[in-house]
């Protein structure tokens, strides 16, 4: 049997499993303020801060630390992230608290003597960890925009860790699934995994993490990057062969950057600049979509899906070639966002036949006269909005807990191009722009985004999901702005993804349906079904009457809270 017929066989199995998607539902609606995050307890913490008079940044700080307790696979103090802010007066800002490569990092540190990649060395264990940025980022955000006392924002997380909290079914399952890795990659077994099996409703108490959070509460930045916590991190590195030093910790600083902004149709897009690839890729995708009648074609129709995949194929090729840390590499941002350049990338695209990714390379923009992750969205009672994506990279990061401190370290070093052309854990490839270098920030797909319409706040959106984050945010925005879905319906809707390499469409089960799936196959696309969801989004939509609708992703324990 030829590969073609084998592919057809599996395509039929896939598309015949078409699932229904609840795209007509409406999410939670509030009058004044809202928080949507990956865990109900974290959303309630943020909502409570807003009720007490805090602003969106205050709530973001509180949610970040709460997620580090109740959502340990991605919420963190041992990772990093990006924050995009739009204030009520329309002013915008962006904070890069992405992790950095340690000072002893080297370009070829994940290669053997023959120059081959040592599998999982950049993905699991102590060498996979970059210098954490989360705590510094939250301190920076609070110092510039916060209004409540710092200690009051960290205290809810302290209490959750010290007293414990009931595990959801999904969180219990994930802890059980990771038990083997936790034992294998830790120099001292984390106390809370002594229990053989966790069940829904079990109380998870994190005493060591509570003490770490108290130091952060009482000493701010110094409670993490100096003193006892820093000593525990360095001791963990020394036991496990890692390379993060006291100097790396003391020298880490997050960076305020100018957000990417651009007009697409009726909407102004505000998103994250490099070292995130998300903002550039999202704007390229939305600009391409504007040139085609997606509304007439219909949601997830063969015509629309084909066009979106062809656009994604080219945008991810650009990502691999041109994007990296702007402090180390001259990223051609303006050229990549030039309308003529974006349109030129679609020259020669057939609306009837798939392009072979081997025939697609990165474009050459003209010089300008340059997962696991989680997301939360917040709008406060004054109309300030914050979109935050934060991560350890893959689920539970490097699997390494800092003994005595109770928190997980990231595995963000895998987001570098450890060898040109070699795919990372998400299948993404890269080159010189994203090579490992001391002090460099690794490229990211995180895409925290805010939309305006007619000069007013319209949407706050973002997602988890590694390389699928960009296409998740892209599809949700189109679901609302083109296909007229509610915020909750847009988040619920089935999703698909293409990233140039590998050359197939990753699709949620039944997202494309029987007819679209079959027609896409006839056009030459290969479809790889994914058990489980693509991305987990958190969105807020400002309704015409000023009320707020939350979109909490049913793929997880996500929840909206507000008043």
Place of tokens 């847009």: 490
For the purposes of burial, counting CB atoms within 10 Å of the CB of 64, is it exposed (0-12), middle (13-18) or buried (19 or more)?
buried
What distance in Å separates the CA atoms of residue 217 and residue 529, rounded to the nearest whole number?
Answer: 45
Distance of CA 444 to the CA centre of its chain: 8
Q: How many Cβ atoms from other residues are within 10 Å of residue 377's Cβ? A: 33
The answer to whether 246 and 125 have CB atoms below 8 angstroms apart is: no
**Count of C-beta atoms within a 10 Å radius of residue 167:** 19
Euclidean distance between CA atoms 396 and 430, whole angstroms:
24
3-state helix, strand, coil in the chain (%, to 5): 40, 20, 45
Of 216, 195, 215, nearest to 205 by C-alpha is 195
Which residues fall within 8 angstroms of residue 191, CB to CB, at 6 or more apart?
207, 208
Given a contact cutoff of 8 angstroms between Cβ atoms, the answer to whether 348 and 403 are in contact is: no
Torsion of CA 405, 407, 411, 413, to 10 degrees: -50
What single-letter DSSP state applies at residue 468? G
- The reply to whether 373 belongs to the active site is yes
**Cα torsion at 396, 401, 407, 409 (round to 10°)?**
-60
3-state SS, 31-98, equals CCCEEEECCHHHHHHHHHHHHCCCCHHHHHHHHHHHHHHHCCCCCCCCCEEEEEEECCCCCEEEEEEC
Strands 559-562 and 34-37: antiparallel
Each as own residue / partner, the long-range contacts of residues 193-198 (CB below 8 Å, 24 or more positions apart, any chain) are 198/167, 198/172
CA distance 462 to 435: 26
Residue 424: strand pairing partners: none
Active-site pick, 23, 134, 212, 373: 373
Distance in angstroms (rounded) separating the CA atoms of residues 232 and 382: 41
User: Which is nearest to 372 in space by CA: 510, 245, 134, 535?
Assistant: 535
- CA angle 67-279-559, nearest 5°? 30
- 64's tokens: 């970040």
Number of other residues whose CB lies within 10 A of the CB of residue 166:
13
Enzyme catalytic residues: 373
């Amino acid at each position: 049997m030829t590969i073609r017929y084998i592919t057809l066989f599996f395509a039929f199995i896939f598309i015949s499993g078409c699932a229904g998607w609840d795209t007509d539902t409406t999410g939670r609606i509030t009058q004044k303020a809202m928080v949507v995050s990956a865990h109900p307890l974290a959303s309630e913490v943020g909502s409570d801060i807003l009720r007490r008079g805090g602003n969106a940044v205050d709530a973001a700080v509180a949610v970040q630390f709460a997620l580090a307790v109740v959502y340990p696979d991605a919420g963190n103090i041992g990772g990093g992230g990006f924050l995009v802010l739009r204030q009520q007066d329309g002013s915008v800002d962006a904070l890069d608290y992405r992790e950095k490569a340690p000072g002893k990092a080297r370009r070829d540190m994940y290669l053997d003597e023959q120059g081959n990649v040592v599998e999982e060395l950049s993905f699991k264990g102590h060498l996979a960890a970059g210098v954490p940025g989360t705590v510094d980022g939250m301190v920076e955000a609070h110092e510039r925009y916060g209004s409540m006392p710092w200690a009051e924002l960290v205290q809810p997380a302290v209490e959750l860790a010290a007293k414990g909290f009931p595990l959801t079914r999904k969180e219990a399952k994930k802890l059980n699934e990771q038990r083997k890795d936790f034992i294998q990659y830790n120099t001292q077994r984390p106390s809370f995994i002594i229990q053989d099996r966790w069940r829904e409703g079990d109380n998870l108490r994190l005493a060591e993490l509570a003490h770490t959070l108290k130091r952060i509460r009482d000493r701010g930045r110094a409670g993490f990057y100096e003193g006892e916590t820093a000593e525990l991190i360095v001791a963990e590195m020394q036991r496990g062969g890692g390379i993060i030093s006291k100097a790396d910790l003391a020298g880490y600083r997050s960076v305020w950057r100018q957000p990417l902004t651009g007009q697409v149709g009726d909407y102004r897009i505000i998103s994250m600049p490099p070292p995130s690839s998300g903002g550039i890729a999202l704007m390229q995708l939305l600009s391409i979509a504007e040139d085609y009648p997606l509304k007439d074609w219909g949601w997830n129709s063969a015509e629309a899906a084909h066009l979106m995949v062809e656009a994604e194929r080219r945008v991810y090729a650009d990502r691999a070639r041109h994007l990296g840390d702007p402090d180390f590499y001259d990223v051609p941002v303006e050229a990549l966002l030039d309308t003529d350049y974006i349109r030129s990338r679609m020259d020669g695209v057939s609306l009837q036949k798939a392009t072979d990714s081997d025939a697609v390379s990165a474009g050459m923009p003209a010089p300008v006269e340059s997962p696991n992750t989680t997301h939360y969205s917040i709008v406060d009672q004054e109309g300030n909005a914050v979109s935050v994506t934060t991560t350890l990279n893959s689920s539970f990061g490097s699997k390494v807990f800092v003994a005595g401190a109770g928190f997980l370290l990231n595995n963000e070093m895998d987001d570098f191009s450890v060898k040109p052309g070699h795919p990372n854990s998400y299948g993404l490839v890269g080159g010189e722009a994203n090579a490992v270098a001391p002090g460099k920030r690794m490229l990211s797909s995180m895409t925290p985004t805010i939309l305006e319409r007619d000069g007013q706040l319209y949407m706050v959106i973002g997602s988890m999901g590694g390389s699928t984050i960009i296409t998740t945010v892209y599809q949700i925005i189109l679901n609302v702005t083109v296909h007229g879905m509610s915020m909750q319906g847009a988040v619920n809707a089935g999703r698909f993804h293409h990233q140039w390499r590998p050359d197939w469409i990753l699709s949620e089960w039944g997202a494309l349906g029987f007819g679209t799936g079959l027609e896409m196959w006839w056009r030459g696309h290969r479809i790889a079904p994914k058990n489980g969801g693509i991305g987990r989004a958190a969105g807020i939509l400002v309704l015409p009457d000023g009320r707020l609708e939350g979109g909490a992703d049913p793929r997880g324990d996500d929840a909206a809270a507000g008043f």
